[in-house]
A = this chain, B = another copy of it.
Amino acid sequence: MAAPIDFYFDFSSPPGYFASLKIDELAARHGRSVNWRPILLGAIFKVTGQAPLPGIPLKGAYVQRDWVRFGRLLGVNFTLPAQFPFLSVASSRAFYWLHGRDPQLARNFARAVYHAAFADAKDTVPAEAVAGIAERLGVARAETLAALNDAGVKDKLRQEVDAAIARGVFGSPYIIVDNEPFWGADRLDQVERWLATGGW
């Protein structure tokens, strides 16, 4: 089987959410699996000097319209939560902690976090909210809350974000296929074509 593709995303990124709904099936059509890798755009923007989209004059209004339109086109539920942009540190820490126990559980958790944030427009920022999502997947609430404060768990996320930056990741979603990078939910067609053809 060919190498997995890397799927970098921020839990607070609508295009990352859109891609999360498509990427596994897309990869499977070409015999590939997917490494899901949450990142923190806030940390990355300190390197690139970028700012969260909603606050950018003109562009901020446009992208929010574009996301809603893109979601309708994809046929997926999409609503921004009341607080946006929001912090995705707790859900990202929980993801890597769960990944160490069970990669499939971590992926289910990631899907549940994205669904809560952008289909149900719920607040996924507090540790209690993240622990509640994990609890519905069978993880004891107290264990998740403890993990979110664990120094090793915090370090793991930092290392993952640093490694992503070292690979050039600057946005969400950012998908790497055999060292070829694609940025944006609007590059999924190109990802699929790259997988099908080996490049052009």
Mark A residues whose CB is within 8 Å of B: 44, 47-51, 56-59, 61-62, 65-66, 69, 72-73, 165, 168-171, 181, 183-184, 186-187, 190, 193, 200
Contacts and interface: CB of A to CB of B under 8 A. Distances in A.
Contact of A58 (B62, B165, B200): B165
22 contacts: A44-B58, A47-B57, A47-B58, A48-B57, A49-B51, A49-B56, A49-B57, A50-B59, A57-B170, A58-B165, A59-B170, A62-B183, A66-B183, A69-B190, A69-B200, A72-B200, A73-B190, A73-B193, A73-B200, A184-B186, A186-B186, A186-B187
How many monomers of this protein are in the complex? 2
Given A72-B200, A186-B186, A187-B186, A59 B48 contact: yes
A65 B181 contact: yes
B168 A58 contact: yes
A55 to B, nearest CB: 9
A151 to B, nearest CB: 28
A190 B189 CA distance: 13
Contacts of A165: 58
A13 B187 CA distance: 19
A49 to B, nearest CB: 7
- 4 smallest CB-CB distances across A and B, nearest first, come from A58-B170, A59-B170, A48-B57, A186-B186
